[in-house]
Amino acid sequence: MPFDHRAHVRMAWDAVATGGVLHALDVVPAALRALASPGRYHATLTWAWVLLVAERYRADEPWPAFEARCPELFERDLVARRYPSGQLASSGARGAFELPR
């Protein structure tokens, strides 16, 4: 099974469900750094996706219901649409979380 965008969202959901947003912001980046090829990890994208998942998370809702209720989270460009052109491509955004300018 490929580790696609849906798998990334599920990883974030699992981490939020396990320990909340701060836990997820610790474990998801660490896991992705360990899994990613050198130079592929992107801090801003990772944090943004974790925060979007955490914002929509409901403790009483199982994954299938969350997935059905939040289809926008499966649009790969959701985060990129909120950032100005070029910001996500910067080395700064890749190395550390940046808010949109």
CB 41 within 8 A of CB 91: no
| Measured torsion, CA atoms of residues 7, 80, 100, 9, in degrees rounded to the nearest 10 | -10
Model pLDDT, residue 38:
86
| pLDDT above 80 for 73 | yes
What mean pLDDT is predicted for residues 81-96?
A: 96
Amino acid letter, residue 20 = G
| pLDDT above 80 for 56 | yes
Model pLDDT, residue 1:
56
pTM above 0.85, yes or no: yes
**Model confidence pLDDT, tens digit, residues 23-43:** 999 999 999 999 988 889 999
> CA 86 → CA 55, 56, 59, 78, 90, distances in Å?
25, 27, 36, 15, 7
- Percent of the chain at pLDDT > 70 equals 99
pLDDT band at 100; cut points 50, 70, 90: very high
| pLDDT above 60 for 67 | yes
Which own/partner pairs from 7-11 qualify as long-range (CB within 8 Å, at least 24 positions apart)? 8/32, 8/49, 9/49, 9/53, 9/73, 9/74, 10/63
